[in-house]
Structure 1
């Protein structure tokens, strides 16, 4: 597959429908930590109803109008990345707008039903922002031969994380489908990023670095990436959770699955028994601060946590409960002090620079990174008109039973 298989038929800039604040939006150290991740690609696939026409249930004019309304509240997405007088990265909010492409392709939804992210998906359905690296958000709507639609987006990780991304998509789709006609039921984003400002003076608690993993940037891969999908049944999850608790106590699905995957990877890599291996994962800080910041906080509200152990212990089936306990223990230590210490550490490390100095290179064989999507409301992007079936979301009306398919060809933390 190549880019010639997608023909762009329209290019426009969508701006907020009302006047929005014009200023330089300060970015926290949690934002700067992820700045070098760049634009994260996101692709939704939608099937049309039998014999349906994608131009009907994905009307471009309606999508633009809905996007324009959503950008009033999510106005940083219409801005551009820049730097302040001190050289620190910020978002220049001046209603520059979101680039939106409309395209046609002879591909069909069924050609991508394996749900495997790939470079081809990005080339075909995600707008290219290589010539405009300061763009925060770009959208591409591709109408497929089968009547379905691929909705692709490129969103800069310096400005938002996964939770904020799907908050935006839910709002945009609500305006598009008519569910957000009044706007009263929509939760407005919180743009006060000073809620995650470092303390003055910064202070790092000694226990912070026992679970906080600060030196994590994007890796340079030396070879092709292989994507595989593993289906784990409800019964298998229950069996893993029992194995992690010995029949008593409680462990989350994430801790059980992460422990199992960690064990399998360590065994497959055949690490030396005495080698120290580490599992690293992002954790949402929104509910961990005292007082907690709003769930609707729009920005990066995550820090990286880690659990470690000897390879011989992690690879042993008998130690699965212990490994799950290590992961659970790392999560339980993420309290108000640890989060503030992590923010202070990053602020000191970044030194106010526009981009963090992250080491390049591949991850060591002893390290594994996992990303938790279990509590992400990723399937709430229902762009259907109220009277049109065929564009449902997994969590919305019971009368609609065809969920959109979501593919992420990058990683949102």
Structure 2
């Protein structure tokens, strides 16, 4: 059954010793210019730093990563590859500033990205198994990152490489989401990996062209965007605060997915995707666990990647575009109705929301950012789902093989995240969720009912 990841059995004191903190600049001169972000990039909810983490075991089967019989230092390899990759992705080495009406601009001044070299006197085996969130030592890993007051004038990418005593390594990143989405981050890191392994230039050339996702002239909102507040000045809060909550992750393999499908009516069993299935299931169980007022309106906002073949063609986005190409589409219901009705009700709502996601929806969202002056995402009663299983983060290889885990180290009260993951040799999806402890226990009980109790009993 899908069970939460237990607190990892961690058998050592995890102390990260920061050796060097420096700015890595492009390896060659790059244009000194100011670039505009798109209106999809320039959302208030993206104006912050978002952490990601990769764990790599020592790989003794990679002789190419040896130099004169001695293993190469991963810190030096990655840092050099980073500098060379920034020649192509030079805006990432710049700094953000505000232009007219507070819109963000990128000053491509080549000041560099922050690079931290560190060591931890801990072996991979001591981290415990499985390697999946929540990590009891995550604060020690992320504590070397500076806590900037905002993102203006600060490095846009923070990278830390931690050598482990066993020869493994941990890569931790804080990235500024307005500069790139998860797909763009994966494209950049895979470029670093290619260069680290000896390729002279990227196999996919990066493309800026952010004007392609600017608001139209004149802007016009053509869709209903439940996912955003009505006005930029509106204020709301999630149903509980971060300090009340804990993180857990749940693995869904083929058996769990089939068990959930068994709760659907016949016309939905074979017509829903795995993402739709998990989203409907988690949304329903989460709402039940929160014991909300039956009359309160709740919603699940699905983050859809606009790089789907049909959408990206309609948007005229070229290969290599690494800016944000996503939008949210929300399924909405009263809490009481969602909780009382069978799972098929939630599934129908999720499928309907997903069907609305096309190029016009993304253009309407860009127009909304201009007309409504960049409103924030709605938080109260909202559950935002981000699926990163197809971004290629787990393919990032600097020459030492593929990571044991690749994805966010945590999530937040209003956000769930689906990560590609392998458990005991079985491919599946790891769902990260954040809830207060008592609510988390009820959530697990509701999830267990769906996965272990046959439909109709």
Map of 1:370-389 to 2, 5 A cutoff? 370-384=385-399
- Indicate the SS of the match to 1:282: strand
Query: Does residue 253 of structure 1 match 2:274?
Result: yes
Q: 1:35 to 1:218 in 2, by over 3 A?
A: farther
Map of 1:3-402 to 2, 5 A cutoff? 5-34=15-44, 37-49=47-59, 56-84=71-99, 87-110=102-125, 111=127, 113=129, 114-117=131-134, 120-125=137-142, 127-131=144-148, 133=151, 134-178=154-198, 181-183=199-201, 186-205=203-222, 207-209=223-225, 212-213=227-228, 221-244=241-264, 246=266, 249-287=270-308, 288=311, 290-316=314-340, 319-350=342-373, 356=374, 358=376, 363-364=379-380, 366-384=381-399, 391-393=400-402
Offset of residue 309 of structure 1? 1.7
The unaligned stretches of length 5 or more in structure 1 are 351-355, 385-390, 394-402
Task: Give the number of aligned pairs.
Answer: 384
The equivalent of 2:5 in structure 1 is none
Q: 1:31 to 1:291 in 2, by over 3 A?
A: closer
Q: Show CA shifts across 1:39-83 (max 9, x none).
A: 111111111136999993543332222111111121121111112
Q: 1:126 to 1:253 in 2, by over 3 A?
A: farther
Moved more, 218-227 or 152-161: 218-227
- Indicate the SS of the match to 1:166: helix
Offset of residue 109 of structure 1? 2.9
Offset of residue 125 of structure 1? 4.2
How far apart in 1 are the matches of 2:50 and 2:325? 16
- Indicate the SS of the match to 1:172: helix
How far apart in 1 are the matches of 2:237 and 2:80? 35
Offset of residue 117 of structure 1? 4.0
Offset of residue 407 of structure 1? 4.3
Offset of residue 265 of structure 1? 1.0
Offset of residue 222 of structure 1? 4.8
Conserved? CA contact 2:204–2:319, under 8 Å: no
What TM-score do you get using the length of structure 2 for normalisation? 0.75
Q: 1:376 to 1:241 in 2, by over 3 A?
A: farther
- Indicate the SS of the match to 2:322: coil
The unaligned stretches of length 5 or more in structure 2 are 1-9, 418-457
Offset of residue 166 of structure 1? 0.8
- Indicate the SS of the match to 1:260: helix
Conserved? CA contact 1:57–1:383, under 8 Å: no
Q: Show CA shifts across 1:141-181 (max 9, x none).
A: 11112221111111111211111111111111111123xx1
CA RMSD of aligned residues (A): 3.2
Query: Does residue 405 of structure 1 match 2:428?
Result: no
Could you say which structure has the higher strand fraction? 2
What TM-score do you get using the length of structure 1 for normalisation? 0.82
How far apart in 2 are the matches of 1:295 and 1:95? 25
